[in-house]
Amino acid sequence: MQQHALPRVIWPLFAALILLPLGFVSPARPVAAAVDWPDAASTPLATRPEVESNDTISTAQDLGSTTSDWKQQVIGTISTSGDLDYYKFNLVQPASGVVISLENLPADYDIILAAAPSTSVEQGSSGVDDITNIGGQISAIGGQISAIGGQISAIGGQISAISANSGTTAEQIDTFLWQPGTYYVAVGAANGGYSATSSYTLNIQVKGSTLTKPTDAPTVEMRVPTPTYNGTNPITTLYVVNSTRMSQIYGNSTQVLSITTALFSLAQGGVSVGNGATEYGYVLDLANLLPTTRTGTTVSAIYDEWLANQDNPFYANKVARMIDNLIKAASDPARNGQSCPPNLPTAAPACPSATMYYDGGGSMNTTVPFPNVKYIVLVGGDNLIPFFRTPDLTTIANEADYAAYLKSLDSAGVINPSNPQGAALKYRMTLTDNPYGTDKPLRFQGFPLFLPNRAVGRLVESPEDILRYLDWQAYYGSYSIDLQSHSEGTPQAYVNGYDFLKDQATAVSGTLSVGLSGVITPTISGPINDTWRRADLVSSWFGSALAYVNPLTGQGVFNETVLNDPSSSHVNKLFSLNSHFDHWQILPAIGADTTDGTFLAERILKPNYVVGFTPGGYFGGTLGYSVGCHSGYNVIDDGIRLNSGSASLYAADFAQAFIRQAGNWIGNTGFGYGSADGIDYSERLSFYLTQELLRDVHMLDPQGTDTYVGAPIGTALAQAKQRYMRNVAGLSAYDAKSLTVMTLYGLPFIHVLVDNPQPPPPEEPQPGPSAELVPTQSNAPGSLTITDGRLERTITVTITPGSQVLLPRTGSKLLKLTEQNFSVTDSFVEAGFVTPTLRLIDNNQVGLPNLPAFAYDISALDKDGTDRLQVRDVVFESGEYALPITFNPQITQVVTETDSPIVNTSDEPSFAAGAGIWYPAKFFGFSSVGQGDEQRDQLISTAAQFKADTNGVTGQLRGYKKMVFKVYYIDPSAPNASAALADETAPTIQSVQIGGITPASAMAGTLAATTPGGVTVVAMVDKGDGTNIDGVSGVYVENGITWTPVIFENKSLPSDALQRWEAFIPLPPGQVRVIISATDAAGNVSYYTAKGTFSLGGSQTYLPLVRR
């Protein structure tokens, strides 16, 4: 899919050499390519002419319904500057590919693909939030794309894809449509260009799946009395189990009864960590989820429907959605005991009355029964409590590639392609538990992106595995991973890494060394280099434990051939395994393709213990985590299908193995990602996770005293994902997938105790009663002027020169800045507000230059502290940059498993697609991430821009010295704020052109002085929804280094829908470079950047632009 003015860039995926059983040399993994649907073989439909009027969504030209292989061509014209052409089609098959091209362009036209409200989100996810303005795609492109975006937003739809190349270059969108339903394709002019006589050609091709979509999942209401066992303490954990289906599949009713008994004991007995207060839980057994009518659908019927359609992932999602509806009805305060999401868009279908109820022995709840839930525990593998299936939008190491790789090992596929997990791979889908912990998803490329606000953990796989885990936890009862110094030994952790993961492993090791430092110096063991083999992994991770047998008792420590001493346990309590994985094996740095072999999950799964009073669990009280591909992919045992070989080899996985040995595990259900020269994607998430595990977390003890209890592992993972989202300047499919696939196996409330707990990041509330406030806790200054609910804030960022860092691998460079290079002047702070912390954030996006970026917290409460100020937009008012220099920037290269270390190559992508364009075009914006008290609003900007030469390697870099931003807020509690809150449609800058030239001339009576020459710049601005335009302003480049502000004057009548705004700029026409913004009374802003060229179109003589 194309975005901005850059074509899609696909870099090669380097393949890995993998082993089967130890000593067996397997064939090399095939090099993965971008996964695609088969080429269409059908005859295209007859070409259709555009039929006017089709200028709005409501009058969109209907192209009909798609088939499994559908092609439609349309010949149309943009006959005036304000002309928009809308087309719609009905997608019949879910999970289908679509390719759209716009060719034979007489002027600069752009296209948007968007989904109707009833199509754009899954059932149960209707209350979606925007990832607000990250990247600023719509507003940065400008022109009629902005008008289209406004219309889509106005009806509650979602933008799925944009193609906005410069000039008459053909546009193309190649993407994946998840939900069936109505989709719109819109064509519009970029800067007022049009031709009433020359046509464009629009081609739409749908490559449909063979899937069908089931009926919606049942909606749920709660009928649960208030539990009495928890006293005044809140219920913070929900345990979700399906005891009926567990008995049906595994047949051991005694073990299933023992599991439910253990869960009820955990819930009603409560859990306390250290001196903290006891927290309780509630067991949600799907056996108690009943139809509201005698003839209604039962839970068993919905599972049976899935069983009959195992090769259709949407039936798995129906079961998952039913379970999630139960969780949301039980825990989401906004839903009042019902599963229907609040605040449905006006155009969205109404949520039906509950068709199922949870029978907890009470009457219907009118408020949420468990509003304090922090943890969700899913009991069972994918066959019992299914993962959600979400679309995999990546082209490098798509999940369909894993299916192809497995089939290369055995022609039967290893994982049966007709069972639920095999079907998910086949149809390019990831497995995730994120939706179970997310009350309100975000929008991303037309899909819901689930960013959990609650911690989710899963227990897998068989009843015996799960019971062994629960028995160990109940026997020892600490529910902690204790890394504090004790007299019996030194706190220890294990970290390994190689290839492009070495930098991340080193960062993790250094972070742990700080957090574990106390009375005794910690020991961080494990190899971080490119030369370790399987034997090195075994000796450094396990010592002699795998082979040892006590000569007196005959018992082992962690032996697979004899029974082991149940009291034995691993000396390390934390393992960070930064290695390449398959779901059944760890690949060492070298030797995987020799008789040295790989390390198998089966080796951890097999050991058993002497039966006695003490339950065995070698990994009890530990946490392992990995960025490895499929390191957290729990494969259901009976889903393995082979023509030859050992099914047990591939049935074993690290999630199941760790749980069986009483440990906790965090890994990826799909491919993990990194970058060749940075800590990015899965690497970055793992690094944040490490920091969060060491966080200084406090709670009140029974006497009301604030006490340290350590970070819960599930909360650490959820907060790491929230931090990841807050610390990116843009979001790609690889970011989204990295957030989606990292999964916890274990109880999410287990706490990590360390000697030197680390404070949270500076933008978050600090621990302790005397900690300084942060912006999210602070009232806006009382002296501010509020007009119709809107108030403004000016932030000036001054940047001193940074250093250039040479990267020897590629010969490219990084512009290196630290926080010490920045100083900030803030109108809020000058009026008495707390001082936010500016921080550097990550800006490594696949195929794009690595440029320094920063974030500045702009969260604030209103003057009374009763409500949150709502950020409406951020505008760049002025600035100054250093003279551009010739520069060879590092271009981010996303990588996954490699057959040889990528760090030993000089490979680097080209950036030829950015030639002549200042990247990023819109270098500033804001993001809002989180919900409720956890929401963080922040200004985001890059501190430099880069314009590539045609060679795609070198170009011009301009680093900023000064940047002035204006933030527009809406105060919901202010008088007259309701109109501003309801208006979310920005005006449209339809075109920007040179309207006239003023030549330089000698002034009368003076020989030396002249009247400066210049141009009149004309911006044609459409009010869109009719809200008055508050102003049009801009900045232009003066002296080659300074962005100088300029104010436009309105030359139109107030009643004119299309308004003419003019400003004089004292520069020759060919030197004018501008950014223009139009703001309405509600603070909505649209921009003109000429797609990163910042140049003006049009002719020297102004020609009126008339909207039809």
Among 1062, 1050, 1092, which residue's Cα sits nearest to residue 1074? Answer: 1092
The answer to whether the CB of 790 falls within 8 A of the CB of 1085 is no
- For the chain, give the longest Cα–Cα distance: 114
Question: Tokens representing 606?
Answer: 């097999």
**∠ at Cα 1031 (1027, 1033), nearest 5°?**
140
Q: What is the pLDDT of residues 882-905, one digit of tens each?
A: 989 999 999 888 888 666 667 777
Matching CATH topology for 772-982 and 985-1108?
yes
Paired strand residues for 868 = 861
The answer to whether the CB of 163 falls within 8 A of the CB of 189 is no
How far apart (Å, rounded) are the C-alpha atoms in residues 642 and 645?
7
How far apart (Å, rounded) are the C-alpha atoms in residues 170 and 110?
9
The answer to whether the CB of 963 falls within 8 A of the CB of 799 is yes
- For residue 737, the SS3 value is helix
Cis peptide bond upstream of 973, omega within 30:
no
Counting as low any pLDDT under 70, the low residues of the chain are 1-43, 117-158, 343-350, 487-489, 769, 897-901, 996, 998-1012, 1025-1026, 1094, 1096-1108
Q: Is the pTM of this model over 0.85?
A: yes
The answer to whether the CB of 650 falls within 8 A of the CB of 603 is no
How far apart (Å, rounded) are the C-alpha atoms in residues 368 and 353?
16
Question: Tokens representing 911?
Answer: 């950036």
How far apart (Å, rounded) are the C-alpha atoms in residues 1051 and 1104?
13
Among 244, 212, 231, 408, which residue's Cα sits nearest to residue 308? Answer: 212
Q: What DSSP state is assigned to residue 842?
A: B
Token look-up 């917290």 returns 857
DSSP per residue, 646-714: -HHHHH--HHHHHHHTT-EEEEESS---EETTB--THHHHHHHHHHHHTB--EEE-TTS-EEE--EEHH
The answer to whether the CB of 534 falls within 8 A of the CB of 498 is no
Sequence-distant (≥ 6) Cβ neighbours of residue 733 within 8 angstroms: 393, 394, 395, 445
Among 694, 699, 837, 865, which residue's Cα sits nearest to residue 768? Answer: 699
Among 1079, 1078, 1080, 1074, which residue's Cα sits nearest to residue 1098? Answer: 1074
How far apart (Å, rounded) are the C-alpha atoms in residues 728 and 214?
36
How far apart (Å, rounded) are the C-alpha atoms in residues 341 and 364?
17
Rg (CA), the chain: 30
Cis peptide bond upstream of 920, omega within 30:
yes
Where do the DSSP E strands lie in 51-207?
61-65, 69-76, 84-91, 96-103, 109-115, 129-130, 158-163, 171-177, 181-189, 200-207
Sequence-distant (≥ 6) Cβ neighbours of residue 149 within 8 angstroms: 112, 138, 139, 159
Token look-up 């004119």 returns 1056
How far apart (Å, rounded) are the C-alpha atoms in residues 525 and 541?
8
How far apart (Å, rounded) are the C-alpha atoms in residues 315 and 309?
7
Among 869, 973, 882, 881, which residue's Cα sits nearest to residue 926? Answer: 869
How far apart (Å, rounded) are the C-alpha atoms in residues 1059 and 1031?
11
Phi-psi region of 527 (alpha: psi -120 to 50; beta: other; left: phi over 0): beta
Cα first-last separation, the chain = 31
Q: What DSSP state is assigned to residue 308?
A: H
Cis peptide bond upstream of 461, omega within 30:
yes
Query: For the domain bounded by 772-982, which CATH number is listed?
Result: 2.60.40
| β-pairing verdict for 447-449 and 480-482 | unpaired
How far apart (Å, rounded) are the C-alpha atoms in residues 1025 and 147?
10
- Cα–Cα distances in Å, from 70 out to 39, 75, 112, 393, 1105? 11, 17, 19, 21, 38
Paired strand residues for 752 = 481, 711
Please give the mean pLDDT across all residues of the chain. Answer: 85
The answer to whether the CB of 735 falls within 8 A of the CB of 624 is no
Give helix then strand counts, H and E, for the chain. 20, 65
Q: What DSSP state is assigned to residue 496?
A: E
Token look-up 């719509």 returns 138
Sequence-distant (≥ 6) Cβ neighbours of residue 586 within 8 angstroms: 537, 577, 579, 580, 598, 599, 628
pLDDT value of residue 168: 87
Query: For the domain bounded by 985-1108, which CATH number is listed?
Result: 2.60.40
- For residue 513, the SS3 value is helix
pLDDT value of residue 1096: 65
Output phi, psi for 690, to 5 deg.
Answer: -60, -45
CA dihedral 574, 580, 583, 585 (to 10 degrees): -80
Alpha helices in 371-430 (DSSP H): 399-409, 420-426
Query: For the domain bounded by 480-753, which CATH number is listed?
Result: 3.40.50.1460
The answer to whether the CB of 313 falls within 8 A of the CB of 420 is yes
Burial class, 294, CB count within 10 angstroms (exposed 0-12 / middle 13-18 / buried 19+)? exposed
How far apart (Å, rounded) are the C-alpha atoms in residues 649 and 358?
40
- Cα–Cα distances in Å, from 184 out to 49, 187, 571? 17, 10, 59
Distance of CA 29 to the CA centre of its chain: 28
Domain ranges of the chain: 48-207, 220-391, 480-753, 772-982, 985-1108
Instruction: Report domain 48-207's class.
Output: mainly beta
How far apart (Å, rounded) are the C-alpha atoms in residues 857 and 137?
21
pLDDT value of residue 704: 79
- Cα–Cα distances in Å, from 803 out to 444, 592, 676, 821? 35, 41, 21, 10
The answer to whether the CB of 1074 falls within 8 A of the CB of 1094 is yes
DSSP per residue, 6-69: B-----PPPP-EEESSTTPEEEEPPPP----PPPP-SPPPPPEE--S---SGGGPEEEEE--SE
Question: Tokens representing 599?
Answer: 């390390």
Burial class, 612, CB count within 10 angstroms (exposed 0-12 / middle 13-18 / buried 19+)? exposed
